[in-house]
Structure 1
């Protein structure tokens, strides 16, 4: 994209000429921070710094005793990986304790030898990453040349760490029904404390189709997912991951959700590590194909009866292969997955009726007023005669646009009355590979390389001619790009009691998308001044948003975009066992780069071609009924735009640079055979982010003695590159955990930890003026207009950086920082009892809690007062500013308390079951659902009204999943031979069940009478002491709640109803799988798979519409439409497919 945007001289906006990975790496290697990092690495190797490596590896520990229970000192303990033949040896200490830290995950044989005792051998000891496995050994008297073999599983209980942890092993990943897309993150749906994972963002922004989820009441951005240790942040969209590996390539997923170990920093919600499979001494592989289409799925619940099911063809195919390059030394693994999605996507939109398009507003239950009558506050206006707007009064541009708007396909409806379809195409190839090298008995290493390539074509609501938003894929147009992810790791066993390791991670996300007709200046062709421009990113349709209708033209103010975002990570760890102590400490360094071409800014409603909003205020009477969609349509015909906007991107490219540094130390102290205590702390430091060549930008509020109402372009001239912002160097995050083994069947655990909020504040500052200028012209109050459509958009000139102190245009939105920035933190604690039961069942009951203190978001400083309009904004009298001025700051606190119950049986003898129940309560501030959000009410004296249930609050949630290999056929209990075996053998049933109560929503109202810029309005509660009446209606004209208990607000005040006081529909979902396996040879098996997702075809309804001002009644006063209507299904992470889907597949394994 270099040279694409050339309006401003290069010297004025210097940018990096190259941003590919190698250039960034070379730049970093020359930096002083790199020098410090390499120095630290060298010191680690020379000084043998003790630290932990639990994220990438596991640990094995145990007590060796004689027949009387006394400790056996000096016993030799050897473990051997049965798949790679790699061995390690240690001895028991004076307490009879042995420790193997930093072990690669896998299956091991354990051998214990001591003079005067028989040799004990235990096979099939499974080691999982980020897990302490305990295997105690009681020796028998005898000669060391004699041996006994002990059978049975390692301890089923979590005996040595106090965190809340779950594991998704290979057997769960490959057998549990996972909806089309086969994304391992769907399985988080089965874990306690998780919200159901859901789709997030467009295909180009998220080509891996990573899912968004929250854990234990925290925000999604506080989850940290690592792939073989490499952090997978989507830097621009931190609430999802940048890369999702193919399901067949994953060995296991380890999930920690509470009381995190000191090594697991920067994770307040969940610390998740995904391990890619490795090769072994045996050749293993698979080939697979999965298919579903429109014929294998049920009819969508809300599909109009006169419409056929949209065509859909979805295929996934690929395979894996792993084995030795050199026996016992060098191993490889590689997987490929291709995804091919073809849909005839459809959706409902709202368009004007034929009468509206003629200027006839007689269908409206409320009067439409002449804006040229009365005063500028909307008082004393008179209605149009007969509710008809004469064509002679129409704006000339509106006259050109009206014939282009389609007519409704659903006659008689005023909302969701137009159904459209188009073809969606999405192709993706994913490769995951890994090479492991056992260099010698002391050194091991591996390198993982993952790659994704995608392309997408998405249809729009009004076709390629009139655009509108995308019907599928999220972005209206064509997308393409690649994602790369690399991990390189090295481990060195200095001695049986001391191990060090280091790893480097790199992830690059390169993605691009353009809207249709971007090469045409359509706004200028229509004769609208100020639209489009001389550069490609300013081409195409302007946007037109009429209140109550679906936006046409460019509906998305973030289009187009071209992003190239790499991140680098270096970690140095080690482990030192000393007596009863297992001490770990180490360091982590991280860098995140944003390199973007994207004319986008928060608060700018319209993109680079420009756009116009038409609210109902100009045709509404001040003091009369609230406006409706007919008022919005009237404003459009008259050309009275209530907001005019355009985004200017001045340089060719812009970006940010963020870094993070951490140190940690932790001691795992086995006080005695029953009690283990873990305690440690982590130190985090987040330097002030910068741009590639200078600092960020900072606004000086009126009253500043030097630069009042100016912007400092930091790093220009003598201005400090850190903008003079002080960031804390005292971000310590302590943790402590206690695990007490009451007996062999019962463990009591409790833990507490603090984690620093890791949100990248450079994201909030990415698009500030003067890099980008979000021009927004707002109406002076709720009843006037910002300008006329025919007059277009005022033109502004490029800023001159000069000495780095620049003016901020009066109508430009700006995000800034105070002189001191303080990060929030997340506390988590739990008290858990775990008990081993008969039938290999393990039950646990835990109180799990989190507290988010000072969560980060945008604090609005230029808010307006109730009833005061634009003139009442805080800084309007001094500066004339009628737009947002927000500070990235701590907004408030949230609290989550829960009871989490689990009952599990690991896969054994062909059967597995996991169940989980969560009861929870979550309290936060209305409007805050993720880092970087804004609360609903910005006015300080009313701030307390924001307190509400979290938007993710889920009172009750139950999940269960299981695998059952039917006991028929050779080697099974029944029908071991003959015709019965031929018919009944090889069958397997799998299932996943979810039962969940609904989530909260708010009854809102028109903010016209509130007239408080930046704050939102809520409805009045007029139900007295009664409880809200739930009617349970679904569909048009059938309300879910009783609308008569709520009313719009027609006075300058906030409504009396609280935020998030109602719960929407709950979820009942059952996924089933039926497999049949055929043995082809001794090692080769072919498996046929039939799976049913939402097997009962139970709709999962979204929350009802909640704006009481949209209420429309029939002539007899009965309900007609507009509020409390459930008209769509909720986002369950299945790409909008809620109805039952049958999928069929074949899997060849060897």
Structure 2
């Protein structure tokens, strides 16, 4: 009965309601006589001066009126009433999404008399509590806009933090340009709209989909606090872009924007290597040109549809068409590490630290019971640290030959690091983009428009310095394609009732390929043909090396998102109430083809060549040495299903904007989201993890070998027909309330509260365990004391696993780790609130000061401790608590060895460690629960905004935000800071720290200034033709942004032991190279002593562990540690981030100088010179401070090696022909 009632309500609302996210303007007001009494039945006619479209309404008994669904632009208002003079208001500007209040006072007199005024657009918002910013067309077109992506102008709004890299803000960087946090909301959890229709993609974690060309954009509005129920599916931020419509006059332009090397400043990277701009150094020492170029060109035309002698569409049919092309080659200079020639042959005699200490390599096969498992240092013919040729694996030899040769010597740091530099690394991008829109005016009753857009991006970019052959890595290429369409109908039912229906469709495709690697036969490297024949995809494998660059791409895929929406809407004016009923209905499809590591992946690190098998140290081990002896540490072969997810979303809503008096307006609204979790078309998803069921494998194992001797419990569940991975959450009720109170004619106080339910980022993608299966590489059968023989030559001797789907039930993934979704997941919610005051100042200036806050609840989080041993057990192994690591490392008989259905080490190894067998579900590896609801965010801010509307040739806008954002147990999507919900899963310690997006200070300013010289200007207005050509028609515009640095993410493998670890001289020099120092480089490791193959920890007289500073810390002048490297099995207590250390702040100034020449009455030519990053201020690489505690550069930025994540100063020339 309950479901039937809900369905009936939804159908009823859909029959009369629904446009969410309206982009057009609404006008409300009151018509009064000179005494202030209401004038009823006055006729109000509103005419668009561009298209002559009209709308007519009459006032009610209270003198109130409402005119909804007006396209942004200039209008003429005419008011007529018996006994009063005719009133005409010209040049009334309406902006995108505006709710304008226009009160009109009539003069007594004859109707034949007309009172005409020229309107000034309202500077204050008197009818709504919503906060935000409108970027009008003048600023969109005239401000210097890098790569001409209009969405990036949203960052000129207070409360908005852009979290993506500054170098990727182009219209086809769909993922990076979605990295926004608005008023402390979750990253990538904002709603992007195009003409009011959804413009988000599921792919990539809520990517921004279609980005229109700048010249097609009319205006756009950023709503940072909305208390209007028409908005939803967001953490509170909405960006609504309106595409221009044609008018009765033909308008258009042709344009070209041009960049070349000779207009560029040098990269920070190249400056520190004394390389001229646009040059790189080849291996032979000569300089070669690395050309940077950009051409962004296109044209736009709009006007009436006019076919001579056949059809004249003036006042009726209008069109707009814009095409844009983009071609760019961008140098991405980088410094990376490749094996030296000596390393490739097994000679590690020069494998040393920056302080000259030998880094030793050890033979894992030299340890045995006779010598108490003590590894011996490699030696060949009496020379230590050399691997003899007969020990070098032939496959590894072939891999070494694929590396490029070192071509530079590092100035600082370890002498073998950062030895391959000055790569031109040209990233090539090709992009085409077009959009078409047609409007039809059938009269005052009916209006429709249709808009369709398409763009396509192709990128080729290398990331490992290899540009030919199968070992390349990078985007090879990456393709992104967008299709977007919308149809919209407005029907005027009466002077008080208007109906609107919008239908839209978006399709987003992202495809990554590996052209030179696909089809590669890995038997050429020496892998067995029997293994190659089992691979899901025949391709060059992926090889990963710690401390060195990787070989091979190892993945390709194609992901498609379809979003269909239906949005009806009914607007009713009733007395002093402006009522709106709506529903937002969407259907989403997400298809994912991910062939990651389908062609074999192997990883190498120091483990098998370090001195002690279970304790890393800075003075032993090498991933290259491990590879040479044929000892990988990990790897896998993925056999993935290609799922198709589907999700439905329904959101009925109601809004009442009640004008209680001429001074006070209240906004009431309510919205109810039915955010159905996604289902997979063929039910290929899991449904939870059952912790109580007896696993069927229990009958096949030797339970006497289990530590507790009990039955083994637990197993994965599977979705039934049409079932999602999580249960549906129907309790998403969202109240909204706001007010606007007019204290005086020039002062308005506004405030409000609104609850939002956030679209879960990444949904509806859920785990497909069993339908996708990963064949794990087993490196060792004795917990990494020794590698399995011939593990590189035959890495998967048991063959490649095939997906069994749900057929094996709870036995799925026996011996393996996995993730599953929490079945009781609920949709995260956020409460937004604000209180502010607006004031109109002289010279067409409006200022606003506000308190703005938000609180996010039930945000997505993850817990990786489902299958971890107890804290009490781990404490027995915690050396900092007096425990002994040997307790956890002790090898015990393996009850799962050889048991059918098991994979990995649990199947092959005769023993397992006591730690592994102490897991609650020992038949599995690590288990992570996803979609938990433990995340919280707190945001508080003080925000100011000052706007001077364009007048007397000048418009200026400025904002300042002072804020603090704290998070708990959050998994922030789409960022380079991968925050764990828990800093210690076993101890169940949640992360509670500053948010990665916390920027306490943020300031922006922008402006457009028509220089007051030449004809029609203040100075030299009488200049002759040649003088005017020289000094007239000039315009300057610019924007400036300053951000505090984001908090540094502390590494997980150190404990902070000195609260003053951040008190350090920020700049230091080593061998003439400047470092930006974030923390004290004072790192210690607990001292140990190895006797007879037994390693023990040194303790002082009080039994405390003895920390010993690393050699580079001593050389840096440290006398006491600030950080201590954590030992295995210890409890982490240090938060992910704190307020003490931030990455460097970021600021950038962009300027444009343009000159417009009038060629004829209808044609103009504009020349533009635009400077981006005028002061050449670097923004350091997103990796920021070095986070490897054993590296001498720990806690610092080495300006000799770091890349900047913004561009250096680029000048761009622009040429536009306008008509």
What's the TM-score, normalizing by structure 2?
A: 0.82
Q: How far apart, in 1, do the equivalents of 2:153 and 2:1152 lie?
A: 15
Asked if 2 retains the 8 angstrom alpha-carbon contact of 1:502 and 1:571, the reply is yes
Q: How far apart, in 2, do the equivalents of 1:331 and 1:989 lie?
A: 33
Per-residue CA deviations over 1:786-811 (Å, capped at 9, x if unaligned) read 75322313523323347583632235
Residue 1003 (structure 2) aligns with: 958
Quick check: 1:887 aligned with 2:930? yes
Residue 313 (structure 1) aligns with: 293
Residue 350 (structure 1) aligns with: 337
Q: How far apart, in 2, do the equivalents of 1:205 and 1:393 lie?
A: 49
**CA distance 1:1109–1:987, shift in 2 (3 Å):** closer
Q: How far apart, in 1, do the equivalents of 2:1183 and 2:644 lie?
A: 40
Residue 660 (structure 2) aligns with: 671
Quick check: 1:165 aligned with 2:132? yes
Q: How far apart, in 2, do the equivalents of 1:127 and 1:978 lie?
A: 36
**CA distance 1:616–1:764, shift in 2 (3 Å):** farther
**CA distance 1:628–1:1137, shift in 2 (3 Å):** farther
Per-residue CA deviations over 1:177-198 (Å, capped at 9, x if unaligned) read 011x211122122221112363
Q: How far apart, in 2, do the equivalents of 1:519 and 1:625 lie?
A: 36
Residue 584 (structure 1) aligns with: 580
Moved more, 587-596 or 389-398: 389-398
Q: How far apart, in 2, do the equivalents of 1:704 and 1:1108 lie?
A: 43
SS at match of 2:940: strand
Q: CA deviation at 1:658?
A: 1.5
Residue 512 (structure 2) aligns with: 513
Q: CA deviation at 1:528?
A: 2.5
Q: CA deviation at 1:731?
A: 1.0
Q: How far apart, in 1, do the equivalents of 2:717 and 2:458 lie?
A: 40
Q: How far apart, in 2, do the equivalents of 1:552 and 1:884 lie?
A: 30
Quick check: 1:792 aligned with 2:784? no
Asked if 1 retains the 8 angstrom alpha-carbon contact of 2:18 and 2:501, the reply is no
Which of 196, 214, 228 is matched with 2:162 structurally?
A: 196
Q: How far apart, in 1, do the equivalents of 2:922 and 2:1133 lie?
A: 33
Residue 148 (structure 1) aligns with: 115
Q: How far apart, in 2, do the equivalents of 1:379 and 1:957 lie?
A: 58
Which of 42, 50, 65 is matched with 1:83 structurally?
A: 50
Asked if 2 retains the 8 angstrom alpha-carbon contact of 1:853 and 1:892, the reply is yes
Q: CA deviation at 1:172?
A: 0.8
Asked if 2 retains the 8 angstrom alpha-carbon contact of 1:159 and 1:747, the reply is yes
SS at match of 2:208: coil
**CA distance 1:358–1:857, shift in 2 (3 Å):** same
SS at match of 2:547: coil
Residue 930 (structure 1) aligns with: 973
Moved more, 327-336 or 372-381: 372-381
Asked if 1 retains the 8 angstrom alpha-carbon contact of 2:1013 and 2:1020, the reply is yes
Q: How far apart, in 2, do the equivalents of 1:146 and 1:1131 lie?
A: 70
Q: How far apart, in 1, do the equivalents of 2:365 and 2:920 lie?
A: 27
Within 5 A, what are the aligned runs for 1:942-953? 942-944=987-989, 946-953=991-998
**CA distance 1:895–1:546, shift in 2 (3 Å):** same
Q: CA deviation at 1:171?
A: 0.5
Quick check: 1:272 aligned with 2:266? no
Q: Larger radius of gyration, structure 1 or 2?
A: 2
Within 5 A, what are the aligned runs for 1:318-333? 318-325=298-305, 326-333=313-320
Asked if 2 retains the 8 angstrom alpha-carbon contact of 1:588 and 1:661, the reply is yes
Q: How far apart, in 2, do the equivalents of 1:231 and 1:847 lie?
A: 29
SS at match of 2:1029: helix
Q: How far apart, in 1, do the equivalents of 2:496 and 2:1009 lie?
A: 42
Q: How far apart, in 1, do the equivalents of 2:326 and 2:261 lie?
A: 17
**CA distance 1:780–1:136, shift in 2 (3 Å):** farther
Residue 973 (structure 1) aligns with: 1018
Per-residue CA deviations over 1:310-354 (Å, capped at 9, x if unaligned) read 311110111111111211111111100011113454422111233
Quick check: 1:856 aligned with 2:925? no
Asked if 2 retains the 8 angstrom alpha-carbon contact of 1:769 and 1:814, the reply is no
SS at match of 2:362: coil
Q: How far apart, in 1, do the equivalents of 2:731 and 2:1214 lie?
A: 54
Q: CA deviation at 1:1076?
A: 0.2
Q: CA deviation at 1:1072?
A: 0.6
Asked if 1 retains the 8 angstrom alpha-carbon contact of 2:248 and 2:315, the reply is yes
Q: CA deviation at 1:821?
A: 2.3
Q: How far apart, in 1, do the equivalents of 2:620 and 2:23 lie?
A: 56
Quick check: 1:645 aligned with 2:636? yes
Q: CA deviation at 1:429?
A: 1.2
Asked if 2 retains the 8 angstrom alpha-carbon contact of 1:543 and 1:551, the reply is yes
Moved more, 925-934 or 332-341: 925-934
Residue 1095 (structure 2) aligns with: none
What's the TM-score, normalizing by structure 1?
A: 0.87
Which of 968, 979, 993 is matched with 2:1040 structurally?
A: 993
**CA distance 1:530–1:169, shift in 2 (3 Å):** farther
SS at match of 1:398: helix
Q: How far apart, in 1, do the equivalents of 2:1021 and 2:168 lie?
A: 52
Q: How far apart, in 1, do the equivalents of 2:843 and 2:314 lie?
A: 39
SS at match of 1:421: coil
SS at match of 2:972: coil
Quick check: 1:909 aligned with 2:952? yes
Residue 721 (structure 1) aligns with: 722
Moved more, 783-792 or 277-286: 783-792
Structure 2: 5+ residue runs without aligned partners? 281-288, 306-312, 697-712, 878-887, 890-912, 1083-1120
Residue 737 (structure 2) aligns with: 736
Per-residue CA deviations over 1:572-597 (Å, capped at 9, x if unaligned) read 11111111111111112111112232
Asked if 2 retains the 8 angstrom alpha-carbon contact of 1:628 and 1:1110, the reply is no
Per-residue CA deviations over 1:250-302 (Å, capped at 9, x if unaligned) read 11111111134111111214111111111111111111110102221111001
Residue 295 (structure 1) aligns with: 262
Residue 214 (structure 2) aligns with: 247
**CA distance 1:322–1:1105, shift in 2 (3 Å):** closer
Quick check: 1:749 aligned with 2:787? no
**CA distance 1:61–1:875, shift in 2 (3 Å):** farther
**CA distance 1:724–1:843, shift in 2 (3 Å):** closer
Asked if 1 retains the 8 angstrom alpha-carbon contact of 2:611 and 2:621, the reply is no
Q: CA deviation at 1:441?
A: 1.5
**CA distance 1:873–1:442, shift in 2 (3 Å):** farther
Moved more, 786-795 or 568-577: 786-795
Quick check: 1:1043 aligned with 2:1042? no
SS at match of 2:677: coil
Q: CA deviation at 1:392?
A: 3.3
**CA distance 1:625–1:98, shift in 2 (3 Å):** same
**CA distance 1:76–1:890, shift in 2 (3 Å):** same
Moved more, 521-530 or 397-406: 521-530
Q: How far apart, in 1, do the equivalents of 2:667 and 2:840 lie?
A: 23
Residue 983 (structure 1) aligns with: 1030
Asked if 2 retains the 8 angstrom alpha-carbon contact of 1:702 and 1:709, the reply is yes
Q: How far apart, in 2, do the equivalents of 1:861 and 1:1122 lie?
A: 29
SS at match of 2:161: coil
Which of 412, 415, 418 is matched with 1:416 structurally?
A: 418
Q: How far apart, in 2, do the equivalents of 1:265 and 1:972 lie?
A: 47
Residue 93 (structure 1) aligns with: 60
Residue 497 (structure 2) aligns with: 498
Within 5 A, what are the aligned runs for 1:346-495? 346-362=333-349, 363-364=351-352, 365=357, 366-374=359-367, 380-384=374-378, 386-412=384-410, 413-419=415-421, 420-465=423-468, 470=473, 475-480=474-479, 482-495=481-494
Moved more, 906-915 or 683-692: 683-692
Quick check: 1:900 aligned with 2:943? yes
SS at match of 1:1125: strand
Asked if 2 retains the 8 angstrom alpha-carbon contact of 1:614 and 1:640, the reply is no
Moved more, 574-583 or 591-600: 591-600
**CA distance 1:147–1:923, shift in 2 (3 Å):** same
Q: CA deviation at 1:817?
A: 2.5
SS at match of 2:1175: coil
Q: How far apart, in 1, do the equivalents of 2:109 and 2:1202 lie?
A: 66
Q: How far apart, in 2, do the equivalents of 1:230 and 1:631 lie?
A: 54
Per-residue CA deviations over 1:701-750 (Å, capped at 9, x if unaligned) read 44236886444443xxxx34315842211211111111111111111111
Residue 527 (structure 2) aligns with: 528
Within 5 A, what are the aligned runs for 1:33-44? none
Quick check: 1:1091 aligned with 2:1170? yes
Quick check: 1:818 aligned with 2:822? yes
Cα root mean square deviation, aligned: 3.3
Residue 338 (structure 1) aligns with: 325
Q: CA deviation at 1:406?
A: 2.5
